[in-house]
Amino acid sequence: MKDDESHAVLNFAQGLGHEARAGSGDHAALRLWLRMLASTTQIESDIRRRLRERFGISLARFDYMAQLYRFRLGLKMRVLSRYLMVTGSNVTGLTDELEREGLVARAANPDDRRAWIVSLTPKGRRVFEAMAKEHEQWVLELLSGLDARAVQRLHTGLGALRVQLTRRQQAEAAD
């Protein structure tokens, strides 16, 4: 992207969403946070809309199925709740809905009579694979305005941020 194009894009982005709350005199870290929040919100909103329109499914249900897809043998509902960062009652509600549709199966945990293990059914795996294929294309499309170097720089920078945040949280937990 040429410098004049880059400045035009940055100026346009300044007036959008969460970023409108930050002024040029604010700290760069605050402006970055608001830009990340605005970008994430915009992408998530688009993905939610597309999932609803194309598959009649919520992002929460897609995320639930994505976690189970990664674990062929299933997950304890408590572990699934932790991965999804939602309450146990949310996971129970989603499990009830998806089980009625034949997309997930719930089985007693042989090691703990109080716990259930949830897994995708063969139908659930097929349905998720179809959704995941389109989801991937949507993400590629939404980020297609960035060249490969920009994507790699963002990925690397955000990875460094995650490491720093994780270390900070671990240090705070140890205190």
The answer to whether the CB of 105 falls within 8 A of the CB of 93 is no
To the nearest whole percent, how much of the chain has pLDDT over 70? 86
Residue range of the domain that includes 140: 45-144
Total domain count for the chain?
Answer: 1
Half-sphere exposure at residue 159, Cβ-oriented, CA atoms within 13 angstroms = 6
- Choose between 160 and 112: higher pLDDT: 160
Where b means 16+ CB within 10 Å and e means fewer, 88-119 reads eeebeebbeebeeeebbbeeeeeeeeeebbbb
Q: Is residue 13 part of a domain?
A: no
pTM: predicted TM-score of the whole model, two decimal places: 0.79
Q: pLDDT band for position 162 (50/70/90)?
A: very high
Q: Is residue 11 part of a domain?
A: no
Q: What is the three-class DSSP state of 147?
A: coil
Question: Which tokens belong to 155?
Answer: 């990925």
Residue found under tokens 């349905």: 127
Q: Is residue 165 part of a domain?
A: no
Q: Is residue 163 part of a domain?
A: no
Q: 58-108, pLDDT tens digit by residue?
A: 999 999 999 999 999 999 999 999 999 888 889 999 999 999 999 999 999
Q: Is residue 175 part of a domain?
A: no
CATH of residue 114: 1.10.10.10
Q: Is residue 138 part of a domain?
A: yes
Q: Is residue 167 part of a domain?
A: no
Q: Is residue 59 part of a domain?
A: yes
